[in-house]
Amino acid sequence: MSEAIKKVQERRQPIRNVNITDITMNYKQPPSAIVSILHRISGFVLFLFLPFLLYLFEQSL
């Protein structure tokens, strides 16, 4: 039985950790994924600048 386990372990590829750089730099993302990520980033930026935008709107009135 131990020989059978050794054979399986020899054929199996080693398990390794996947970092964020592996996902973003090494894998080709489809255009829809890139647009989705950019849409999320732009929404977050708008959320951060919302108080400033409201202040500017108040000053314009």
Residue 39's pLDDT is what? 97
- The predicted pLDDT at position 32 comes to 95
Q: If residue 46 lies in a helix (H) or strand (E), which one and from where to where?
A: helix 31-48
pLDDT digits 0-9 by tens, 46-58: 999 999 999 999 9
d(CA 37, CA 34): 5
* pTM to 2 decimal places: 0.54
Percentage of the chain modeled with pLDDT above 70: 84
Residue type, 33: A
Higher pLDDT, 5 or 57: 57
Q: How far is CA 52 from the centre of its chain?
A: 28
CA distances from 42 to 3, 16, 36, 37, 46 (A): 56, 33, 10, 9, 6
For 1-44, strand residue ranges (E) read none
* pLDDT tens for each residue of 18-28: 777 777 777 78
